[in-house]
A and B are shown apart, each in its own frame.
Chain A
Amino acid sequence: MKFNWKPYILTLIVLLILFPFVYMVLLSLASEWRFPDLLPSYFGLRNWLKIIGSETGLLHSFLISVSISLSVATVSTLSGFFISRSVSYHPKKRVLTLLTYFPYILAPVVFAACLSYFFLRMGLFGNATGVIVAQFMITFPYALIFFSSFWNQRTKNLEDLVATLGGNQLQTFFKMLFPIAKGMLLICFFQTFLISWFEYGLTSIIGVGKVQTLTIKVFLFIKEANFYYGALSCCLLIFPPVVLLYLNKRYVFNKLV
């Protein structure tokens, strides 16, 4: 009988994928783990408890990151949905769509450097509002492009149908468009949340170190060579996207398929 290597290779691949994540959790629970010690001298919840005590400011960074990403994702998803409708039905749709790609011509850091003067003049430099506005400038065009496929002739016909059946604009949105676009709205929210959550270049320039999101904090710990806190902040960084991914999988993707 031929020996079947497939399950073993598969298990090895799964272990290799999972290893960095498991190791990161273990590292966040350890301290004073020096070469050539096989095990850390301390293994427990001390690092995590410090977060609750806010000694390192990680909890504060986590809350700031959640607030910024939720604001950016909500505003860009909703405004992207409404404005992409106007763009898609506009006679000069092609020119306007081309303009939406403009923020992606430049690297975010260069883009932020170009805009920094205006942010400084408007008093948006070094505060969370400025970071939200800056990140919005990246996520909003993304949402516009994302929803452009939704606004097609069929959707226009459906809107017209609701109008001839006696519906007003508000009823068209709440009784027809939002329910039909529910899956796309959730996916766009998830994507823009992730873009904002992992954003570093724009945030570091517009936030000038005063707005310390988790991504900024991870880089600081890496620079300080404090890999225990680095691992801990990475855990915090990954936790919300994992929750969102689960919710999306559970409630959106399964229903879309």
Chain B
Amino acid sequence: MFLEVKNIVKSFGSEQIIKELNFTLNAQNTMSILGKSGCGKTSMLKIIGGLLSPDAGEIILNGINVANQSPKHRKIVYLYQEDLLFPHLNVFENIAFGLRLKKLPENEIIQKVNSIIASLELEDQSGKMPHQLSGGQRQRVSFGRAIIINPALLLLDEPFGSLDAGTRQRMQELFKKLTKEFDITSLFVTHDLKEAILMGDQIAFMQKGRLKVYQDKTEFINDKETGVQDEIGFWDGLKSKETISKH
């Protein structure tokens, strides 16, 4: 397995936020993690990314236990719901940021950034400052900045949460395309049922600090806890009401 998370536990004071977190993920796969606000999703991602220390447990990435490594050595990029573009840099420099930290040669940086910009369909925007971009464009730049450094694992914390429905759909399609193109392994946290089903090769559900990983999408859909059945019931009810009123 590419990613193995074993027995991770985290408490804040007397409250246990993460309870015995265990799961595995294959390389180049995406695991969707569904859960309500405050269930521990963000804490889990931050622990895997090295931004929070776990009280116990192991995180094995590509055969190496990274639980005690600092974030900069893990090659795991954490993406927030907010795009967090650097306001003093234009699109090109925002995407190039990680490469400049590595002090790569200028020619290589230009070539890599231009290639990513083309993949993100942002050719006309490279000289623009973040405040001149739309929400969707900003989120694309944020992706590009993460992908360009070729991370071992990408952690996405409700990345499309602040986008409107249309832009959100386009971003989901773009993300699927990019994960294939750049062989990305990722954990995709969302509170949107449809998004969880669409984005993940694997699906998990988090509730009160416990993570349940499903064998397949059918098991996820059939589990009453996830709320999928309620959703189906709602739409079916609406449909039958409409049919009755027509008759």
- A residues within 8 Å of B by Cβ? 154, 157-158, 160-168, 171, 175-176, 179-180, 182
Contacts and interface: CB of A to CB of B under 8 A. Distances in A.
A157 B82 CA distance: 10
Given A160-B78, A161-B78, A175-B100, A168 B86 contact: no
Nearest to A178: B88
Given A163-B72, A175-B100, A180 B88 contact: yes
Interface string B96-111: 0110111000000000
B97 A175 contact: yes
B70 A165 contact: no
B29 to A, nearest CB: 20
Interface residues of B, number: 25
Contacts of A161: 78, 80, 84
A256 to B, nearest CB: 12
Contacts of B76: 164
A207 to B, nearest CB: 41
B145 interface: yes
Contacts of A167: 72, 101
A168 B80 CA distance: 20
Interface string B71-95: 1101111101010101110000000
A182 B86 CA distance: 13
A176 B88 CA distance: 8
A165 B145 contact: yes
Contact of A166 (B82, B86, B98): B98
Given A171-B101, A175-B100, A164 B74 contact: yes
Contacts of A157: 80, 82, 84
Interface string B152-174: 00000000000000000000000
Contacts of B88: 179-180, 182
B35 interface: no
30 contacts: A158-B84, A158-B86, A160-B51, A160-B71, A161-B84, A162-B101, A163-B50, A163-B71, A163-B72, A164-B50, A164-B51, A164-B76, A164-B77, A164-B78, A165-B72, A165-B97, A165-B98, A165-B145, A165-B146, A166-B72, A166-B75, A167-B72, A167-B101, A175-B97, A175-B100, A175-B101, A176-B86, A180-B86, A180-B88, A182-B88
